[in-house]
Amino acid sequence: MTTVHRTCPLCEAVCGLTLTLDSDNRVTSVKGDRDDPFSKGFICPKGASLGKLDEDPDLLTTPMIREGTQWRTATWDEAFDAVAVGLNKVIEEHGRKSLALYLGNPNAHTVAGALYGGSVARGLGTRNIFSASSLDQMPKHVASGLMFGDPLTIAVPDLDRTDYLLMLGANPLESNGSLCTAPNFPGRLKDIRKRGGKLVVVDPRHTRTAALADEHIFVRPGSDAYLLFGIVNVLFAENLTTVSVDVDGLAAIREAAVPFTPEAAAPRTGVPADVIRRIARELAAAPTAAVYGRIGTCTAEFGTVAQWLVDVINVLTGNLDRAGGAMFPRPATALPRRSRPYRTARWTSRVRGLPEANGELPAAALAEEIETPGEGQIRGIITVAGNPVLSLPNGARLDTSLQEVDFMVSVDRYLNETTKHADVILPPPQTLQSSHYDFALLAFAVRNYTRYSPPAVALGDRPSESDILARLAMIAAGLDGDTAAHDELIIDQTLRKAVAAQGSGVFGRDVGDLRASLQGETGAELRLDMMLRLGPYGEWSGVDGADLSLQKLLDNPHGLDLGPLEPQLPDCLITASGKVELAPPQLLADVERLKAGLTQTQPEIVLIGRRQLRSNNSWMHNVSTLVGGSNRCTLLINPADVERLGLGDDAVVKSAAGELIVPLEPTDSIMPGVVSLPHGWGHGASTQSVAAAHAGVNANTLTDDAHVDALSGNAVFNGVPVTVSHAFSVS
């Protein structure tokens, strides 16, 4: 028996886990790590199933090559050779413009995704870069980029100190939180109330999170921007603003808010005017307060405007960048990022002209870019840790269009709805065979914190996922040789920049000496060590007493608390004015569209999504301990709608994009006129035995790739117009 302590890689809560392994390295128990200073022993059913996940017999353990409709196993050399041949053929025939990359959600959790995802993109040399970000939080990046100058400078609610939390479109009791890294999110919410604070939840559904709150406000899907503008309007009208940071554009935002009186916002949002007024007053009066908006507010028609207004309110109530308000984390690996203010739409997608953001094109444009002939038509695609057939709007269309590509490579654990279209599948090792560091998620943590998990189980003769991606990057770029050279190049470039930067803790030092002192058994570890040392707590930071390094993390396997969030303004701003931009022109321009929507007639029934505690987007439905019970693909619907529409057990749901038959789950917890279907299901044709037995349907048959948030190109999953009618025959 051995005991290992690791970070759970399965969601954004980054819980510490304590696992015991038997002599065959099989997991015999998984518990929350009580000595982790951040998660303090918290664990959820998914983390507890980590061992089951690694033992899933349907996991791929060797590369797979498809020959017609048949799959065969292959050696790693064979598989990489096949990738080189396939990619080069596409490049020769159609050029690099015809290549594409799709990076899925787990890239935000893996070391490989953080350190090598960008290398694959650069190696391909194409603008057809897509990721789950434009199905998720791109509105937050764009709004933050325009307000603060950097799309990764994202303010998170200071959960542990706030007196008042207004939370819109998030359900952390199921999701465990997002763009707000907080293990035991449920406990942290309960603590707000215990210390006499107030929690208000805005959601079209009375969720488990809403049930925990002091107040739940039903809102019409897709209307958060109106509600938030209503609050801004009241703050100005009643002279409740207390701006405590340097801002640009105060007069412009005041002016923009004029049409959005509570009375104007009420019919559109379904929230009574007096409630909007009261929430504005409460936010202004609370000793500290934070507004936090997540998926429900992002994946909507006015996602970017809503995300902007969240932080506008945080500024206007004096809560941006102060304890108990909305604050900017300072992660241990933070290195200087950009020198120029953020811009979007530096290029646009070929077919529909959708804007680039963060160097990516909207994933909602992927299918049309594959289908539409002409120069730049996608002919070769790599997917890494993604299942876009189930996660993209109008996924059914992508399912068809992927059959058209000449060559496809997938880096994935499973043969699934997406990877079945690949020519070559390259499987990453088990989670316990992988090292883990949350490069992305610790930048959104509600406390500054760091933890590293080296592999717990030896890799054997399998490559790590970092090696797989580094190799893909080199093949794509047409480079031969050792992947270690790739890491050395990055280390060299980073160190050169650091020694040349005035004010850096290593200014003027010798790059060779610094390189020689780095520790690590892999290129990824060397790079992590470098980032930790150069970062704000590192031994090369120039800060007295700072001594963070990889070795220190290895010596502290339960992780290290780096203290509560601290004010970061104005140092973290990269805006042209050097101030917080309250009224960026692009956002003001979209307000005109928003205004027009105030009086538009609304569809009778709209679809929203939901997340389920024992599920993880599309890919944890093959673990028997997690499926079944409440974890089912059903359509939540208000009983009044069931009666009004004369529905039975199942119903036909139709949208502009497609149609489905789904089992109904009538419940008072959802607003009349709103139905909810979880995404990630639809495993009917799956070769994964458990998932196929709990197939469900693909919610993204109904969502529409034709509609995106205008500013970010983000997919719209919430507020999709549908009709629901009686299903006559059910097979």
The DSSP result for 436-497, as a single string, is: B--TTGGGGBSEEEE--B--SS--TTSPPHHHHHHHHHHHHHT--S-HHHHHHHHHHHHHHH
Q: Write down the least CB distance from residue 431 to ligand SF4, Å.
A: 11
Q: How far apart are the first and last CA of the chain?
A: 49
467 near ligand MGD, judged by CB under 6 A: no
Task: Pick one of Mo ion, ligand MGD, ligand SF4, none as the site partner of residue 56 (Cβ within 5 to 8 A by kind).
Answer: none
**C-alpha span between 702 and 723 (Å, rounded):** 11
Determine how many CB atoms are found less than 10 A away from the CB of residue 252: 17
For ligand MGD, how many residues bind (rule: CB under 6 A)?
65
Tell me which of 49, 105, 631, 714 binds ligand MGD, using CB under 6 A.
105
* Contacts to ligand SF4 from residues 164-223, by CB under 6 A: 176, 183
Q: Write down the least CB distance from residue 105 to Mo ion, Å.
A: 5
What length is written for the chain? 731
* Contacts to Mo ion from residues 614-633, by CB under 5 A: none
Site string for ligand MGD, 496-535 (x = CB under 6 A): ----------------------------------------
Q: Write down the least CB distance from residue 81 to ligand MGD, Å.
A: 20
7 near ligand MGD, judged by CB under 6 A: no
15 near ligand SF4, judged by CB under 6 A: yes
136 near Mo ion, judged by CB under 5 A: yes
Cβ proximity to ligand SF4, 379 vs 451, nearer residue: 451
β-strand pairing of 247-248 with 580-581: parallel
Using the rule CB under 6 A, give the single segment among 83-91, 99-107, 148-156, 441-449 that binds ligand MGD.
99-107
Burial 299-337 (b: 16+ CB within 10 A, else e): bbbbbbbbbbbbbbbbbbbbbbbbebbbbbbbbbbbeee
Cβ proximity to ligand MGD, 247 vs 657, nearer residue: 657
Phi, psi of 728 (to 5 degrees): -80, -40
C-beta separation of 60 from 414 below 8 A:
yes
385 near ligand MGD, judged by CB under 6 A: yes
Reading the block at residue 31, the tokens are 């518990």
Sheet holding 27-32, edge to edge: 2-7, 16-21, 27-32
**C-alpha span between 724 and 181 (Å, rounded):** 37
Tell me which of 233, 703, 712, 714 binds ligand MGD, using CB under 6 A.
703
For CA atoms 149, 151, 152, 154, give the dihedral sign.
positive
414 near ligand MGD, judged by CB under 6 A: yes
Cβ proximity to ligand MGD, 537 vs 717, nearer residue: 717
* Contacts to ligand SF4 from residues 40-69, by CB under 6 A: 43-44, 46-47
271 near ligand MGD, judged by CB under 6 A: no
221 near ligand MGD, judged by CB under 6 A: yes
430 near ligand MGD, judged by CB under 6 A: no
Cβ proximity to ligand SF4, 38 vs 229, nearer residue: 38
C-beta separation of 70 from 646 below 8 A:
no
Q: Smallest Cα–Cα separation from 197: which of 169, 171, 167, 220?
A: 167
Q: Write down the least CB distance from residue 614 to ligand SF4, Å.
A: 10
582 near ligand SF4, judged by CB under 6 A: no
Cβ proximity to ligand MGD, 16 vs 177, nearer residue: 177
Strand partners, 248: 581
Q: Write down the least CB distance from residue 385 to ligand MGD, Å.
A: 3
Task: Pick one of ligand MGD, ligand SF4, Mo ion, none as the site partner of residue 43 (Cβ within 5 to 8 A by kind).
Answer: ligand SF4
C-beta separation of 406 from 425 below 8 A:
no
539 near Mo ion, judged by CB under 5 A: no
Reading the block at residue 375, the tokens are 């120069």
368 near Mo ion, judged by CB under 5 A: no
How far CA 497 is from CA of 170, 239, 461, 491, 528, in Å, comes to: 40, 48, 36, 10, 17
**Which letter does DSSP use for residue 355 in this model?**
B
**Which pairs count as long-range contacts for 87-90, CB under 8 Å and 24+ apart, including other chains?**
87/380, 87/407, 87/409, 87/475, 87/476, 88/478, 89/406, 89/407, 90/379, 90/380, 90/406, 90/407
Site string for ligand MGD, 540-579 (x = CB under 6 A): ----------------------------------------
Cβ-closest position to ligand SF4: 47
Task: Pick one of Mo ion, ligand MGD, ligand SF4, none as the site partner of residue 10 (Cβ within 5 to 8 A by kind).
Answer: ligand SF4
Tell me which of 5, 6, 14, 505 binds ligand SF4, using CB under 6 A.
14
C-beta separation of 708 from 715 below 8 A:
yes
How far CA 399 is from CA of 136, 419, 421, 432, in Å, comes to: 20, 10, 8, 32
C-beta separation of 675 from 608 below 8 A:
yes
Given the rule CB under 6 A, which residues bind ligand SF4? 8, 10-11, 13-15, 43-44, 46-47, 176, 183
Given the rule CB under 5 A, which residues bind Mo ion? 136
Given the rule CB under 6 A, which residues bind ligand MGD? 11-12, 104-106, 110, 132, 135-136, 168-172, 174-176, 178, 202-205, 207, 219, 221-222, 224, 294-297, 299-300, 384-388, 391, 411-414, 416, 428, 465, 608-613, 615-619, 679-680, 699-700, 703, 717-719
